């Protein structure tokens, strides 16, 4: 699986750890930045570029997911969710990570680097990456309604 990762300065240490750790586990890691610590950096471009790469890979039949990191993960999740087709979920424990995949077929996980130890964050992210979408009809229907609104502006009851 290819995994696109992006962060801001607050998640840089976690990002560096994850690139090494997940590469060692066989994931094809693609780092969208930043390349160095800058306390004044702006995360939106990094996260949007990672999200765009996830969608491009998925549309080309490549098994791909994404990770966006920050201090809380909130802004990074918001940025990633601006990309059409992205369903970025903020995960703060194993259950939220797994449910994001099972019920929402989330394709990007957001985690707050200042909210967890490196080990705990890695465990949450690994759970997200390993969990399959349930493909339950009710979840597919709900995701379809979100996608319809995203592409057409139509709200379906």
Positions annotated as catalytic residues are 76, 103
103-115 burial, b at 16+ Cβ within 10 Å, e below that, comes to bbbbbbbbbbbee
| CA pair distance 151, 146, nearest whole angstrom | 9
H helices of the chain, in order, are: 12-24, 44-59, 74-80, 94-104, 118-130, 137-152
**Under 8 Å between Cβ of 22 and 57:** no
| CA pair distance 131, 155, nearest whole angstrom | 29
Q: CA nearest 104: which of 139, 148, 73, 156?
A: 139
Instruction: Kindly give, in sequence order, each residue whose CB lies less than 8 Å from that of residue 70, ignoring residues fewer than 6 positions away.
Output: 7, 8, 10, 11, 43, 76, 110, 112, 113
């Amino acid at each position: 699986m290819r995994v696109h990762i992006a962060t801001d300065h607050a998640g840089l240490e976690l990002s560096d750890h994850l690139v090494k750790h997940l590469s060692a586990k066989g994931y094809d890691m693609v780092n969208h930045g930043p390349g160095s610590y800058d306390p004044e950096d702006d995360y939106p471009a990094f996260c949007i570029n990672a999200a765009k790469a996830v969608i491009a890979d998925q549309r080309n039949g490549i098994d791909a997911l994404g990770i966006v990191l920050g201090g809380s993960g909130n802004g990074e999740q918001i940025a990633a969710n601006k990309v059409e087709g992205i369903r970025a979920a903020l995960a703060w424990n194993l259950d939220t990570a797994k449910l994001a995949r099972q019920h929402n077929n989330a394709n990007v996980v957001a985690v707050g680097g200042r909210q967890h130890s490196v080990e705990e964050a890695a465990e949450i992210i690994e759970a997200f990456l390993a969990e399959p979408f349930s493909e339950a009809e009710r979840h597919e229907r709900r995701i379809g309604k979100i996608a319809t609104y995203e592409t057409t502006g139509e709200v379906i009851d």
